[in-house]
Structure 1
Amino acid sequence: MKRILFLLTTLTFSVAMIGQGNSDGNKDKAKDKGKPVATDQSGKSKDKEKADKEKKERADHDKKIWEGTSDKSGGPKASKNQPTKVSSAFQRDYPNATNVYWTKYRGDWTATFGNGIWRSTAVYHANGDRRDTRTLVSRESIPRKILDVIFKQKPEAKVDEAIKIEVPKGLKDIFRIKDIINGKAEFQYYNADGIKVQYNY
């Protein structure tokens, strides 16, 4: 009986010491917080620099994705509380999405995320229906039929990139092409076959 009591006491004491050891480790971590953060030559912390770079990339992406659309509020606004139907639909549609951030634009919920080598923005109605997914693509990703139509109509046209709009429900992908005419941007929409189409968003 004494041996069992001794073993239980020793076990309890050991667990307490291990717990104290972890607690001391946390104290060291707390002490580390007070240490100076690694900085580069300009004095900015590397974390701050990385956050600033990501913020700039998001702003550039949003500007290109939404260019040519109009909203009196001035563009997408950050959002944290999406309806359950919207977040569930997004998880179903893009289970491997990375670095997701949510905004609200023109009454719809938008999720901008890493999608392989591309960065995409998916647009959802409040009921969870996906309106479209937009991805900035390079000239090499624009179908040849579209480029042939554009350069046949305007040989001097300059097309560096486009917005690929993937529409659900079996419709063909749409490509939004930006054209500068007399200093003013105009946007043309084409399906993958090079046929001009109307798209109202």
Structure 2
Amino acid sequence: MKKYFLVSGILLITATSFCQEKKERVEIPSAAEVAFKKSYPAATKTKWSKEGSDFEVNFINGKNEMAAVYSSNGELKETEIEIEPTALPAGVTTYVKEHYKTTIKEAAKITKANGEINYEAEVNKKDLLFDKNGKFIKEQKD
């Protein structure tokens, strides 16, 4: 009987260890980290991830939920700040109502390094991107 419990225990531990999701540690280039800390010295709750060949950091800046994307050499590519869905251009809400027949869960204003403004609306676990006037650009999986 003891062998049965011992074998069962070993199998359970082995199965559990295989089922656990392994989180990859993202190695952040020092240039990106230095640039971020220089731009946002008071940022809290930072979480870095890889975005293609770039690095995205999600963080809190004051009362704002934000994100910034940096290249490996520390060049800022874009910033994103969470906004209320009611702050989106009217064209965004019209498009969502016509094409998705639902409400916008979350919204953000994206500012590219060149000053270009885009908006993002999360709908049905998808991110919809719009230009500064609210014209639809593309849909991407969240």
Same fold, TM exceeding 0.5?
yes
Which structure shows the bigger proportion of residues in strand conformation? Answer: 2
Give the whole-Å Cα distance in 2 for the aligned partners of 1:132 and 1:155. Answer: 27
**How many equivalent residue pairs?**
120
1:167–1:200 distance in 2 versus 1, CA, 3 Å: farther
Partner of residue 67, structure 2: 121
Residue 121 of structure 2, aligned match among 162, 169, 177: 177
Give the whole-Å Cα distance in 2 for the aligned partners of 1:86 and 1:154. Answer: 38
Give the whole-Å Cα distance in 2 for the aligned partners of 1:114 and 1:197. Answer: 27
Partner of residue 157, structure 1: 102
Partner of residue 192, structure 1: 132
Identity %: 22
The within-5 A match list for 1:1-201 is 77-79=24-26, 82-151=28-97, 153-154=98-99, 156-172=101-117, 174-180=118-124, 185-198=125-138
TM-score, normalized by length of structure 1?
Answer: 0.48
Residue 198 of structure 1: how far off its partner (Å): 4.5
Contact 2:79 2:112 in 1 (8 A): yes
Consecutive unaligned residues in structure 2, runs of 5 or more? 1-20
Residue 178 of structure 1: how far off its partner (Å): 3.3
Q: Kindly indicate whether structure 1 or structure 2 has the higher relative contact order, using CA contacts under 8 Å at least 6 residues apart.
A: 2
Listed one character per residue, the Cα deviations across residues 48-101 of structure 1 (whole Å, up to 9, x for unaligned) are xxxxxxxxxxxxxxxxxxxxxxxxxx9x8443x532321222123223322323
Residue 170 of structure 1: how far off its partner (Å): 1.4
1:77–1:115 distance in 2 versus 1, CA, 3 Å: farther
Contact 1:112 1:120 in 2 (8 A): yes
TM-score, normalized by length of structure 2?
Answer: 0.63
RMSD between superposed Cα atoms in Å? 3.1
Which structure shows the bigger proportion of residues in helix conformation? Answer: 1
